[in-house]
């Protein structure tokens, strides 16, 4: 099944390192990140899970739950968790799904047979509090993901959901943002009474509205 932006995230029940999970119920009113790993006891995945565990306080601050997935069983996950703690200096602090029957991987199209027949690729889905898919990323098994980038996208998604702005290339929290092109200058004056810097009529910058509160989202 293809899962596209704006679709409702497929719901599922699964076994995890923190017990059974019913996905939509588990998300509750928060946002969620679901990300897949090709296989347990593999080097790149080990570093990725350590990286996410270290960033967990940042995801918590933004009201985002994190959920990993690998197609091996819970016993393997538990043995691997001990390795992750020993080598990455941080214990797994979020659930890891044991998708032995690959039902979740298939529902989210995480197996790309022309890349690898039985293992998942490195997928990431950001899901909002309405259970809608807001971002999907696919990386090959050989390339570890940049989870700072996932945090950056969450900041952009949350900011642009509640303000009439978009974020430019390489934007990060605190940088100037762009007034939506769909907003006329008259409409923009109402929303941004302090004005803007226009480099072109369609390229109008204002300060990051979320920077006033100090921390992201």
Task: Give the separation between CA 170 and CA 64, rounded to whole angstroms.
Answer: 21
- The single residue among 14, 53, 84, 141 that binds ligand BEZ, judged by CB under 6 A, is 141
Q: Is 66 helix (H, G, I), strand (E, B) or coil?
A: strand
Q: Does 124 bind ligand BEZ (CB under 6 A)?
A: no
Which residue, 144 or 209, has its beta carbon nearer to ligand BEZ? 144
Q: Does 42 bind ligand BEZ (CB under 6 A)?
A: yes
- The single residue among 24, 39, 131, 132 that binds ligand BEZ, judged by CB under 6 A, is 39
- Shortest distance (Å) from residue 22 CB to ligand BEZ: 28
Active-site annotation holds for 174:
no
Tell me the chain's radius of gyration from C-alpha atoms.
Answer: 19
Q: Does 50 bind ligand BEZ (CB under 6 A)?
A: no
- The single residue among 3, 44, 137, 211 that binds ligand BEZ, judged by CB under 6 A, is 44
Task: Give the separation between CA 200 and CA 71, rounded to whole angstroms.
Answer: 50
Q: Does 138 bind ligand BEZ (CB under 6 A)?
A: no
Beta bridge partners of 126: 33, 135
Task: Give the separation between CA 160 and CA 166, rounded to whole angstroms.
Answer: 6
Q: Does 114 bind ligand BEZ (CB under 6 A)?
A: no
- The single residue among 6, 43, 201, 214 that binds ligand BEZ, judged by CB under 6 A, is 43
Tokens at 184, concatenated: 């006329």
Half-sphere exposure of 34 (CA within 13 A, CB side): 33
Bridge-based pairing of strands 31-37 and 64-70 is parallel
Catalytic residues: 45
Residues that bind ligand BEZ (CB under 6 A): 38-39, 42-45, 141-142
């Amino acid at each position: 099944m293809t899962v596209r932006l704006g679709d409702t995230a497929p719901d599922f029940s699964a076994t995890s390192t923190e017990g059974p999970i019913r996905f939509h119920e588990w998300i509750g009113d928060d946002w969620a990140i679901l990300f897949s790993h090709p296989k347990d006891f593999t080097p790149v995945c080990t570093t990725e899970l350590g990286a996410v565990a270290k960033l967990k306080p940042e995801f918590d601050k933004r009201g985002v739950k994190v959920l990993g997935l690998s197609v091996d069983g819970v016993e393997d996950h538990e043995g691997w968790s001990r390795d992750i703690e020993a080598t990455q200096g941080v214990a797994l602090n979020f659930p890891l799904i044991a998708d032995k029957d690959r039902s979740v991987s298939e529902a989210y199209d995480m197996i790309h047979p022309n890349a690898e027949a039985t293992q998942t690729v490195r997928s990431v889905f950001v899901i909002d509090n309405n259970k809608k898919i807001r971002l999907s990323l696919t990386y090959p098994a050989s390339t570890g993901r940049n989870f700072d980038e996932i945090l950056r996208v969450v900041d952009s998604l949350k900011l642009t959901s509640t303000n009439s702005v978009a974020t430019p290339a390489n934007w990060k929290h605190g940088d100037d943002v762009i007034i939506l092109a769909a907003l006329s200058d008259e409409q923009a004056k109402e929303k941004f009474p302090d004005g803007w810097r226009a480099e072109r009529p369609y390229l109008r910058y204002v300060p990051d509205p979320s920077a006033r509160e100090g921390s992201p989202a």
